[in-house]
Chains A and B, each alone.
Chain A
Amino acid sequence: MKEIIISVATLGGFGALFGLLLGIFNERFKVEENPLIKQIYDALPHSDCGACGYPGCFACAEAIAVREAPIDACSVGRQETAKKVQEILDKFEEENSNNN
Chain B
Amino acid sequence: MNFGEYLVDLAKIFVSSSIINNIVLIQFLGLCSYIGLSDSMSSSIGMSFAVIFVTVCSSILAWVIDHWILIPSNLQSVLQITSFILVIGSFVGLVQIYLRKTSPNLHKAMGIYLPLIATNCLILGVTFINSMNNYDLVQSIVEAIGASLGYAIALLLLVGIRERLRDSDVPTFFKGKAIAFMVSAIMALAFLGFQGMIR
Contacts and interface: CB of A to CB of B under 8 A. Distances in A.
Contacts, number: 53
B97 A22 contact: yes
Given A22-B94, A22-B97, A25-B94, A15 B86 contact: yes
Contacts of B82: 11
Nearest to A26: B97
B94 A10 contact: no
B60 to A, nearest CB: 14
Interface string B61-100: 0000100011001110011001100110010011001101
Contacts of A45: none
B199 interface: no
A1 to B, nearest CB: 13
A18 to B, nearest CB: 4
Interface residues of B, number: 23
Nearest to B91: A18
Given A11-B82, A11-B86, A55-B111, A6 B94 contact: no
A21 B83 CA distance: 16
Interface in A1-37: 2-3, 6-7, 10-11, 14-15, 18, 21-22, 25-26, 29-31
A30 B102 CA distance: 10
Interface residues of A, number: 19
A18 B101 contact: no
A3 B78 contact: yes
Nearest to A15: B86
Contacts of B79: 7, 10-11
B97 A21 contact: no
Given A3-B75, A11-B79, A25-B94, A31 B65 contact: no
A55 B112 CA distance: 7
Nearest to A22: B93
A30 B97 CA distance: 8
Contact of A6 (B73, B98, B101, B104): B73
Contacts of A22: 90, 93-94, 97
Interface of A: 2-3, 6-7, 10-11, 14-15, 18, 21-22, 25-26, 29-31, 55-56, 59
